[in-house]
Amino acid sequence: LYNRWFAETRKNSFVRAGERIGAAVSGGPDSVLMLEFLARMSGDVGFQLAVVHFNHHLRAAESDEDESFVRNLAERYGVPFFRGEGRVAEESRKRRRNLEATARDLRYRFFLGLIRQGKVDKVATAHTLDDQAETVLLRLLRGSGTRGLGGIYPALGGGKILRPFLSLTRNDIERELEERKLAFRTDSTNRELRFQRNRIRHELLPLLKKNFNPEIARLLAELSDRARDDEETLEQLAHARALPWRVREGKEEKIPVRALVELPAAIQRRVLRQ
């Protein structure tokens, strides 16, 4: 599995020799295997590896045990360890946002902070093909358009946040962990069906796989690839078609209604969003 993954990852040139890459490790199976692969890859490519971990303080002692586990992993691999923390439940109540969205915001603020401080150049997260499929279904159920169906992007922030595991399934990872005898932590909240993503993971996707198409996860991931390609082209086209008509006045930008309504509806929407 490593050789296949290495060939795919090198083809995309997501890391270069001399860069400092932070592996975002929660302690779960996906991130543990990503750390193992990146540690091996660092020797082949010549980049510097670090482990980054964000403690969400959502599971009392379990969260602290996860942090200790990840810290020990960093020591075992002989790489720097950077940790951050946030009281996600309290922050969620203050913002009146759900736990998942708040946790993501705080976690990525920590990652980008490490990059701004010069401690790492990029951060890699261990999102998988199954995570991609779940995200596409979640967005579809919320009524997203092409942009939302693009799901989890392989890179964010100008290539500063990387997702090198998007081509691997959860089954791939579980088999590889068993073969390599790698220990990992299990997040008890991943089974709680009060979270919509967990209901999609444990109820909806298995139902679709069993009763409609056993390859549903891969098909949804391929849909996200096409949606991202389409969205990139349409965004560029919208910018080019509207450019002659766009007028900047102070902090505002305007376009004549007559020019706008002559554009196709798909282009109109993107011009207004831009």
d(C-alpha 28, C-alpha 9), whole Å: 21
143 to 35, 190, 216, 231: CA distances (angstroms): 35, 24, 19, 16
pLDDT of residue 187: 86
Provide the pLDDT confidence category of residue 11 given band limits of 50, 70 and 90.
confident
Tell me the mean pLDDT in the region 147-171: 95
d(C-alpha 264, C-alpha 269), whole Å: 9
d(C-alpha 249, C-alpha 266), whole Å: 25
Provide the pLDDT confidence category of residue 190 given band limits of 50, 70 and 90.
confident
Provide the pLDDT confidence category of residue 10 given band limits of 50, 70 and 90.
confident
pLDDT of residue 195: 85
pLDDT surpasses 80 at 13: no
pLDDT of residue 85: 95
pLDDT surpasses 80 at 37: yes
67 to 63, 64, 79, 126, 182: CA distances (angstroms): 6, 5, 15, 17, 17
Contact yes or no for 42/14 (Cβ under 8 A): no
pLDDT surpasses 90 at 49: yes
Helix (H, G, I), strand (E, B) or coil at 264: coil
Contact yes or no for 271/238 (Cβ under 8 A): yes
pLDDT of residue 12: 79
Tell me the mean pLDDT in the region 40-47: 94
d(C-alpha 126, C-alpha 164), whole Å: 7
Q: How many CA atoms lie within 13 A of 69 on its CB side?
A: 21
| Phi, psi values for residue 163, rounded to 5° | -125, 75
pLDDT of residue 23: 98
Tell me the mean pLDDT in the region 26-43: 97
d(C-alpha 29, C-alpha 186), whole Å: 8
- Mean pLDDT rounded to a whole number for the chain: 94
Provide the pLDDT confidence category of residue 90 given band limits of 50, 70 and 90.
very high
Task: Give the residue with greater pLDDT, 43 vs 189.
Answer: 43
- The string of pLDDT tens digits covering residues 99-144 is 888 999 999 999 999 999 999 999 999 999 999 999 999 999 999 9
pLDDT of residue 30: 97
